[in-house]
Every structure is written in structure tokens, then in C-alpha cells.
A and B are shown apart, each in its own frame.
Chain A
Amino acid sequence: MKKRYEHSDPFPEEQVRSAIQTGMEQAEKQRSKGNIHRQLNRINKVKRKVFYAFGSVAVVFVILVGSSYYSPALASSLSQIPIIGSVFGNSDLIGLEKAQKQGLTSQIGETQTIDGISVTLDEILYDQNNITIGYIIESEKQLGEHYFGAGMDFTINGESPSMGSGSYREDIQSATTRTAIQEINVTEEMPDSFELGLILHGGEEETWYFSTPIEKITDIRTIPIEHSQSVDGIDLTVTELTLSETGVSVSYESSEAGTDFELSRGGDIEFRMFDQDGNEITSYSGGGTGELVDNRLVFTSKKQFDPIGSNVTELTITPYTALPTDGGGVEIDENGVEKALEFRGGSLEDVEFESFKVEIPN
């Protein structure tokens, strides 16, 4: 069968030999590279992490440029980002709007695009209560309501936190654009400045990863209170009030006898806050933890409020219980077996706490 070739053109000896020699040279090069690789293997391992990080940024950039070039839909939606402006500025949260106007937030503006979905990390605010993250999500196609689940997971200096709590909300701007505000409650684990890693998972198992240094705003005033009262078996101690441009927070600790969290009231304490002129300062719920210590249920928590103006000289704070009227829950054991928990808090009675006043030094 090879006859037809033998009889046609003469055998190109020189070219074949040159191909053989080039192939051998190629092999020599690969072999020497392999040796260097082995020698540098240890160094490479150390450096690899850094390279991955740079690599992913570069790749994402290319993808963004590439996809906005090819897809007119994405290109036009990307061009609309400035219309949205600041996620915080457009939110109805006074603290965030104020923080944004006063330049207390860090403007990030980094965009990463995966499969036609671009996530822009817009800005971050790190105050005494929360790390608040605003982001813009743009997609070529319409996405399902819960496409991003409960928002981003986070890391502190590359380490996963031992615990985390917070909230996530999305505002739909158009069929393919939504903004999201995520709050991560500040815990003792968080240094005043650190590298915050954010990981967002999409419904199709896409993963967006951002990493950015953040710093707690410096203008935070702490007013020690140490107000204690005991009512109806609950010991309540309000430890401090913190004030910043972005909000006010009240820290407290409560303790009561008992072993059943479901039947306790310490975790349900909220505060009403009025200034000297009778204006109410809006409250936002904050996170807290409860633990069982020597047959006592101890809660420590921080409640959040809107920021107050410089004209405020005195605050009247009234603790009250906001008992759940319905509820229940699900217990999941180590084998993943779910068991419905009945709501048993219906028999609890509200506790009447006394108001107390806090002077705001100017």
C-alpha cells in the first residue's frame, strides 16, 4: 500500500533527518527542563499559592474582556453599572448611606465574570458591628431567585472563621441585574485590619473568589455603661454603648437559671432607644450567642441602631422582651437525621425592665 508514495516523489532524506534531529533536540530541552523542575520543586511549592492567586485574577480579567467583547447583552449590562451607583448609597439603610457619603467605606469595584455572570464587589464597610459588603450581580440570562443561596462565605487572613453569623439580602434591579448587601457580624476573632476572603457560590456550582484587605473604621467611641438590673429571675447587664458614623450599638449580657434554651427569655431581649427630644432611634436586630454555664443560661449580644446626630446629648434605653409567638425548629443529629422540634415558648411571659439613661459626651 505504500507503493503509490514510493513511486511518486523522491525520498526527502534531508528533511526527514532534520525532523528526527529537531525531535531529539526537543526531547533534550524537555529533559533539562524536567531536571530544573525537580530541583526547583521545593521552591515552587511555596510560591505556587501566590501564583494561583495572581493567575486567577489575570484569567478572570481576560474572561471579562473576552465575554463583554463577544456578548452584546453582557457588554450593555456592564455599561449600566454606573447607573446603579453605590449599592450602599441606594440602600435604605441610614448607616450605610451615611458611611458611603462620608467615605468610610472601601471602594473595591472588582468584577469577576464566570459563564456570563459577573459579580462586582462594590464596597465594604467594617465598623464595630458588621462587615457590610455591597455587590452587584449582572447576568446574561435571568437567574433564579435563590441562585446565590445565603450569600458569601468568608475567610479571615485565609482561615475559615470558627463561627459566623450575619444576613444577606438581594434587591432586584432588573431581570438580569441585582444588588446584594451582606452583613457579617463582627466577632472577637476579627483583628482591626485583615485580609478578607469572600467566596460566592452560584446555582450552577460556579465559584467567585475575592480577597481584599479591610480595616475597621477608626472613629468609634465606646461609652462604658455597666447598668445592671434583676427582674423576674433574669440578670441583665448592659456593658457598653458604641457610637460611630455608621451606627450605635448596645452590648449586653443576660443570665438566668435553667437549662432549656427554648424556655429562656434572655436571648429575646431587645432595646428601645429615644434621644432627649423623644425621637426614636431605629433598631436592627443584631447577633448574639448563648451558652450554658453551671445550670445558668448566659447570653451575650450586641444590638444595632441607626447612627445618631451630634445634637444628641442623652439616650433613654428601655430593655424589653420580644418573645416569639410561634416557632419550632429542626434538630439535625450527627447522622444527618432531622427531627422536628415543637414550639414550647408560648407559655413565656414578657419581662418588664426598667429604663435607664446614658449621657452622650460631646
Chain B
Amino acid sequence: MKHDIHTVTKAINGDAAAFEELLFLEEQMMYYKALSYVDNKQDALDAIQETSCKAFLSINQLQHPEYFSTWLFRILIRECYRLLKARKQIIPYEENELLIQLESKQDQEVESFHLSEALSKLKASYQTSIILFYYHDLPIQDIAEIMEKPVGTIKTYLRRAKKKLRIEIERSYKLNEKTI
């Protein structure tokens, strides 16, 4: 565990200075994590502010001090997702990264161009679950919490999203062959 258990315990007991110290230690991780979801500085800062507020209000409910970081980042990702959802934006991703992740689990090689087009044709909930799972490597349990849906639903989203992606990518290839 990377944090001093004493400091975490003090924070759980309502010590503001201890809580601030812990968040300052995580500041870089928080910032870049938020940025990877919301894709711009101002939104990342907003997400951090909301996260600090919610975390400080609920830290007394944290039962295992050793999981402080995991707990904090769950709140952060949920806040990022909320921000995006409110703006009807989709979680940004780097195509190449996502491709590598997807390809390692698929037989077919896919070009980045076809992937982004196919992905954009999916429903927002399918897009989000694919990006969170393959690009952000989040466990299904966490995705379920962030999207406020049961685990089973997320599994269904992923299964259907993959199927739909495959169909879209194949169609996209065929179309391009014809035009060439």
C-alpha cells in the first residue's frame, strides 16, 4: 500500500489536513486519469473538485484504509463519466491503443480507420463499455458501478458491442473494396 495507514485512518476520522495530504500525493495520478477520460484540462479540474468534495463527505464510510487509492479513483472515474454523460460526449480514446487491446482478443486485423468509424456507429452505452473495458482496462464490476447498471447488463453490452463492431468493420471493408 502506497499511503501511510495512519494518515488514512486520520482522514477517515475527519482530519481535513490528513485528507488533503493524501489527495496531494495522488494529484498527478488524478489529473492524468481525469484527462484521459474527459480530454480537456478544465473538465479534468472540475472532475477533481467534485471528487474531492464527494470523497471528503464519504471517507468516513471507507472500511478498508488500504484500499484508499482504489476507492478514490472509482469516485474520480464516476465523476468523469457523469461529466461526459451530461454533455452527451463519449469517453475519448486513442485508436491505436484500443486497436491493440481489441486485436489481442480478436483474430482479424483491423485498421484504425475502420475501427473508429464502426465504433461511432454503436449506441453510446456500447461505446462507453467497450472503451472502459478495452482501453481503460477497468474490471466489469467497476464499469457497472460507473455506468450505474448491473454487471450482467455490462456483460451484455460488451458482447453485443463486439458483435456489432465486427459486422460494422466487415461492412466497412467491403464498402471500401468496392469504391477502390
Please name all residues of chain B whose beta carbon is closer than 8 Å to the beta carbon of A11 when the two chains form the complex: 28, 31
- The answer, yes or no, to whether A362 is at the interface (CB within 8 Å) is no
Give which listed residue, A12, A13, A26, contacts B49 with CB less than 8 A: A26
- The answer, yes or no, to whether A70 is at the interface (CB within 8 Å) is no
- The answer, yes or no, to whether A49 is at the interface (CB within 8 Å) is no
Q: How far is the CB of B103 from chain A (nearest CB, A)?
A: 15
Please name all residues of chain B whose beta carbon is closer than 8 Å to the beta carbon of A1 when the two chains form the complex: 36, 93-94, 97, 135-136
0/1 interface trace, chain B 9-53, chain A, CB 8 Å (1 if under): 000000010011001100110111101100001000110111111
Please name all residues of chain A whose beta carbon is closer than 8 Å to the beta carbon of B93 when the two chains form the complex: 1
Q: Given A19-B45, A19-B49, A27-B53, do A2 and B24 touch, yes or no (CB 8 Å)?
A: no
Whether B31 lies near A20 (C-beta < 8 A) is no
Q: Given A1-B135, A13-B27, A27-B57, do A20 and B32 touch, yes or no (CB 8 Å)?
A: no
- The answer, yes or no, to whether B73 is at the interface (CB within 8 Å) is no
User: Whole-angstrom distance between the alpha carbons of A13 and B41 in the complex?
Assistant: 12
- The answer, yes or no, to whether B157 is at the interface (CB within 8 Å) is no
CB-based nearest B residue for A25: B53
Question: Which residues in chain B, 42-93, are within 8 Å of chain A measured between CB atoms?
Answer: 45-46, 48-57, 93
Whether A23 lies near B50 (C-beta < 8 A) is yes
- The answer, yes or no, to whether A45 is at the interface (CB within 8 Å) is no
Q: Given A1-B94, A4-B94, A17-B27, do A24 and B32 touch, yes or no (CB 8 Å)?
A: no
- Other A-B pairs, 11, CB within 8 Å; known A17-B24, A22-B52, A24-B16: A1-B94, A1-B97, A1-B135, A2-B32, A2-B33, A11-B31, A12-B45, A19-B49, A26-B52, A28-B56, A31-B57
Across chains A and B, which 9 residue pairs bring their CB atoms closest together, nearest first?
Answer: A23-B52, A23-B53, A27-B56, A19-B49, A23-B49, A26-B53, A19-B48, A2-B32, A27-B53
Please list 18 pairs of residues, one from A and one from B, whose beta carbons are closer than 8 Å in the complex, sorted by A's number.
Answer: A2-B33, A2-B35, A16-B48, A19-B48, A20-B20, A20-B24, A20-B49, A22-B52, A23-B48, A23-B49, A23-B51, A23-B53, A23-B56, A24-B52, A26-B52, A27-B54, A28-B16, A30-B57
